[in-house]
Structure 1
Amino acid sequence: MKQFEFFGKQVSRRQLLTGTAALGSVLVAGGLTGCGGNAQASSIRDIGFWHLLSGGDGIKMQAMISRANEANPGFKVHPTVLAWGPPYYTKLAMASAGGRPPEVAIMHASRVPGYAPGGLIDPWDLDLLAEHGVTGDNFAPRIWEKSQQNGKVFSIALDSHPFVMFYNTDIAGKAGVLGASGQLQEVTTPQEFMVMAREMQKVTQAHGLSFGYLGSGSQMWRLFYTLYKQHGADIELIPGQPMKVDRDAAIESLEFMASLFDDTIAAKAGDISTGIAEFARGDSGMLFSGVWELPTLKKAGLPVDAATIPTLYGTPAAYADSHSFVLPRQLNVDDAKRRDVYKFVSDVLKGSISWAEAGHIPAYQPVVQSQAYRDLTPQIHYANAADSIAYDPEAWFSGSGSDWQTYFAENVQNVFLGRDKAAAGWDAFERRTNTLLSRPNPV
């Protein structure tokens, strides 16, 4: 009997004909019963959602999306996850300009000033938002202020994620630097901080502080900008004008950072991964990093607590950004889908206690004020950072994952390695910034 190959298997002609007939029956039956199913499916509106959240954050976001989908049978949100940084923002801009954007997307709040003026994102309708129980009063003033451009709200913050200080309570206790509350003693000057770090180094016999920075402009910038803002100083980036900056405060901040990398307080050189690994194995007492590292540190089984980075120059400040929902510009707005987006965003905000579990500070204040949030440790110990967060100075080229932070690294990394003076590194970065300020916004 003649044999045929079917999906890699040898079958006879009779088997093939029998199987095909059976398959045809299934397809016909499926087609008949599927008419009702397809009609039902077509009534469910598909909502495209782009974000750049990966790892533990991505898992948490997917869970929140799933809960929103289950609670709202009229629509289904379909997430697309893209690479963090310039690739994501470039693709989002191209999609909006080309008329093929998702219905909703996540942007860092610091990147919105580069997109709103060019019409790449639409403002939010505050009345429609209020219909779903979300108003400006639900957000901390600094966060709500950041959501606006020229009097219109262009982003709705999910969180604030500040740069903080994690510490090992066992090491801190042995070093004698814990207060009566069981939390780290307060230090208010650079010198006091360095003394505390050296006491922890005596316990670890390695380092007092972990802070990996090599090759990461974002990591360098987060600590620098925290210290700079603690001077009570601002940076203004006005197109067509030179950068307005407190040069002395900038140089002093860089010099203090460089002084930490003495192979006693902190390693002379290391990247983010080595810094986190060092802290996780107990070879340092403190770690400067973002709140998003909390799940990793807890998984390592560390006796970990956290606090805002100590105020060393008089003014409380912590570098931070916010993952925020935006409405990419639609050539033809589907009113039903847009209303679905408002419902989806409100559901995620109201359910953001799970986002807090990942370390982030929820932007939606009813969650922050809940007992469930107050029971989260160490999250509650740095919740006050939301009152002093420092977003990047506004410009079309600044913000999280921007090339501007890469330029910062290119000019100041050698300062931290001891190869350049702080003044030389800062002045070079300032010149590079002034070149950007002389150019128009490309989007």
Structure 2
Amino acid sequence: MSPHPSPSHHPSPSNPSSARSGPLTGTVPPPTRRRMLLGAGALALGASALGCAPGSGTGSGTAEVRFWSLFQGGDGARLETMLDAVREQAPHLRVTPSTLAWGPPYYTKLAMASVGGRAPETAVMHMSRLPGYAPGGLLDPFDLDLLAEFGVTAADFVPDLWERGIHDGVTYAIPLDTHPVVLFHDTAMADRAGLLDTDGKLRPLDSPEAFLEASRAIAEVSGGSGITYGHVNDDSQGWRIFWKLYNQTGARLSLPQGGPAVVDEDEALRVFSFLAELMDGHTSEPNLTYQSALAGFSSGRAGMLICGEWELPYLLDSVENLGAAPFPTVFEQPGSYADSHAFVLPRQSDPDPERVRAAHEFVALMVRNSLTWGEAGHIPAYSPVTESAEYLALTPQSDYAPAGETPVLDPEVWFAGAGSQFHSDVSEALRTAVTGQGPEAAVEQLTRSLDSWAARTNPSEGVS
């Protein structure tokens, strides 16, 4: 299995409880083409949109639901299993799935389809990308009363995650999962290194000193590396590990439009200093690529791996004694970098009520059938699934499931999120910290990059 290029996901906004039930209010006006250009975030647009021409129902008692996703490989296979379940449970829905390329191409085409009147009834979006789409009028809101008819309500989700799908008091995204970065480990090595408790679970590594000590102890057992992390050739890995640790310190980051960024430089220095000590070239290597970190752990040359849970299927096939746990609370507050795959309703210029209803039923059925998604490693967002006996019997999924309760998503700004240029730019600071001029220079570099992004104009502002 090739490495998943994703995640996701986070300070949560404060939204009135009334926004999560009752009739729809506060919908945005239809997007102009200029507004769409911004809604697509900082993407380089120009690719032609993919999509089907809109049409009416089939007239045969079925309702069509065109569905776009970016799931390939193992995730794509799990998705097909879920789609088969939906077709069996709701034969009156004619589901037509389309799989598009991950990253900027997907989000460009989704934005252009929404503007061009050729959008599907529903699509998958990373929750972290919502601030670039909902304000620009590229999405239609969900009717929560209609969704509740099909057995799905706000009460079925972790509040912080549900609220990230709300913009201006209206719900635009229904979470399918949380996919956090977790700590994988070889349980046999961890046992020999004295890192397991009496139940055979990884003991808490709840301070910088405990984390570093664990890395050194398991490196002695592996004969190679301790805790390994691949970030060199990945556009997001540097940001992911910094952002979750920065949030664990309790520090806040503000990116007001026009800038400057407000960042706690003392806490940022604390984070980069810790990472430089961890990846010191002795027990943990400082210059691993994503692929080399995976290979080092799966071959037994490293005892632990910091990675997204989306690699679980590959690791289950590669590591005989695989264990996993939520990313440790290294600093003061729990939390791990995460994103969420969510369902959205791309903007329809002339929505067909029959198809709108069918799209709501489809989304509800997909989240209710997300045990299959959990088997692939993702943490289902729908609580009745994660609390079920079937999910709790999955290992090591149930061991890291608590990570879904404290996800750290990207800042809620138009330029952030999965597959963004922002991720690539701010990730450079980690390389400066561990293999360049050091942590102090990394803080300066990060601050400059954050200032630059905050100063950029959101293309959708002031566009009518």
Alignment correspondent of 1:432: 449
TM-aligned CA deviation for residue 412 of structure 1:
3.5
* CA–CA separation in structure 1 for the residues paired with 2:280 and 2:231: 14
Scaled by the length of structure 2, what TM-score is found? Answer: 0.84
TM-aligned CA deviation for residue 41 of structure 1:
8.4
Alignment correspondent of 1:5: none
For each residue in 1:218-270, what CA deviation from the matched residue of structure 2 results, as whole angstroms up to 9, or x when unmatched? 11111111111110112122212311221111121122112222233212311
For each residue in 1:3-51, what CA deviation from the matched residue of structure 2 results, as whole angstroms up to 9, or x when unmatched? xxxxxxxxxxxxxxxxxxxxxxxxxxxxxxxxxxxx9886543322111
TM-aligned CA deviation for residue 216 of structure 1:
1.3
Task: Indicate how the Cα distance of structure 1 residues 127 and 411 shifts in structure 2: closer, same or farther if over 3 A, else same.
Answer: same
For each residue in 1:277-317, what CA deviation from the matched residue of structure 2 results, as whole angstroms up to 9, or x when unmatched? 11111111110000111111111142111111111111111
* CA–CA separation in structure 2 for the residues paired with 1:278 and 1:352: 31
Alignment correspondent of 1:309: 327
Task: State whether residues 140 and 172 of structure 2, in contact with CA within 8 Å, keep that contact through their aligned partners in structure 1.
Answer: yes
* CA–CA separation in structure 1 for the residues paired with 2:236 and 2:60: 44
* CA–CA separation in structure 1 for the residues paired with 2:59 and 2:170: 36
Task: Indicate whether 1:423 and 2:443 are aligned.
Answer: no
* Unaligned runs of at least 5 residues, structure 2: 1-56
Task: State whether residues 242 and 434 of structure 1, in contact with CA within 8 Å, keep that contact through their aligned partners in structure 2.
Answer: yes
Alignment correspondent of 1:16: none
Please give the residue correspondences for 1:41-80 in structure 2 after superposition, counting only pairs within 5 Å.
44-80=62-98
Task: Indicate whether 1:140 and 2:191 are aligned.
Answer: no
Alignment correspondent of 1:346: 364
Task: State whether residues 201 and 264 of structure 1, in contact with CA within 8 Å, keep that contact through their aligned partners in structure 2.
Answer: no
* CA–CA separation in structure 2 for the residues paired with 1:412 and 1:200: 24
Alignment correspondent of 2:24: none
Please give the residue correspondences for 1:251-400 in structure 2 after superposition, counting only pairs within 5 Å.
251-400=269-418
Percent of paired sites with the same residue: 42
Q: More helix per residue: 1 or 2?
A: 1
Alignment RMSD (CA, Å):
1.6
* Unaligned runs of at least 5 residues, structure 1: 1-38
TM-aligned CA deviation for residue 148 of structure 1:
0.7
For each residue in 1:387-427, what CA deviation from the matched residue of structure 2 results, as whole angstroms up to 9, or x when unmatched? 2111111110001111100101234423222x222232232
* CA–CA separation in structure 2 for the residues paired with 1:413 and 1:80: 37
* CA–CA separation in structure 1 for the residues paired with 2:205 and 2:86: 44
Scaled by the length of structure 1, what TM-score is found? Answer: 0.88
* CA–CA separation in structure 1 for the residues paired with 2:82 and 2:372: 8
Q: Secondary structure at the match of 2:324?
A: strand
Q: Secondary structure at the match of 2:277?
A: helix
* CA–CA separation in structure 2 for the residues paired with 1:436 and 1:182: 45
Amino acid paired to 1:52: L
Q: Which runs of 4+ in 1 moved over 4 A?
A: 39-43
* CA–CA separation in structure 1 for the residues paired with 2:96 and 2:59: 14
- Of the three residues 204, 215, 220, the one matched with 2:238 is 220
Task: Indicate whether 1:188 and 2:206 are aligned.
Answer: yes
* CA–CA separation in structure 1 for the residues paired with 2:224 and 2:155: 47
Task: State whether residues 128 and 412 of structure 2, in contact with CA within 8 Å, keep that contact through their aligned partners in structure 1.
Answer: yes
Alignment correspondent of 1:26: none
Q: Secondary structure at the match of 1:333?
A: coil
Task: Indicate whether 1:81 and 2:99 are aligned.
Answer: yes
Task: State whether residues 225 and 303 of structure 2, in contact with CA within 8 Å, keep that contact through their aligned partners in structure 1.
Answer: yes
TM-aligned CA deviation for residue 160 of structure 1:
0.6
TM-aligned CA deviation for residue 72 of structure 1:
2.0
Instruction: Tell me the number of residue pairs that the alignment of Structure 1 and Structure 2 aligns.
Output: 404
* CA–CA separation in structure 1 for the residues paired with 2:103 and 2:453: 19
Task: State whether residues 280 and 434 of structure 2, in contact with CA within 8 Å, keep that contact through their aligned partners in structure 1.
Answer: no
Alignment correspondent of 1:29: none
Please give the residue correspondences for 1:7-22 in structure 2 after superposition, counting only pairs within 5 Å.
none
* CA–CA separation in structure 1 for the residues paired with 2:256 and 2:347: 26
Deviates more, 1:324-333 or 1:62-71: 62-71
* CA–CA separation in structure 2 for the residues paired with 1:85 and 1:276: 21
- Of the three residues 244, 247, 260, the one matched with 2:262 is 244
Alignment correspondent of 2:458: 441
- Of the three residues 174, 178, 190, the one matched with 2:196 is 178
Deviates more, 1:41-50 or 1:54-63: 41-50
Deviates more, 1:376-385 or 1:44-53: 44-53
Deviates more, 1:185-194 or 1:255-264: 255-264
TM-aligned CA deviation for residue 173 of structure 1:
1.0
Task: State whether residues 426 and 450 of structure 2, in contact with CA within 8 Å, keep that contact through their aligned partners in structure 1.
Answer: no
* CA–CA separation in structure 2 for the residues paired with 1:315 and 1:283: 31
Task: State whether residues 236 and 394 of structure 1, in contact with CA within 8 Å, keep that contact through their aligned partners in structure 2.
Answer: no
Report which of the two structures shows the higher radius of gyration computed on alpha carbons: 1
Amino acid paired to 1:357: E
Amino acid paired to 2:272: L
TM-aligned CA deviation for residue 217 of structure 1:
2.8
* CA–CA separation in structure 1 for the residues paired with 2:396 and 2:402: 12
Q: Looking at both structures, which has the greater relative contact order when contacts are Cα pairs under 8 Å and sequence separation is at least 6?
A: 2
Q: Secondary structure at the match of 1:326?
A: strand
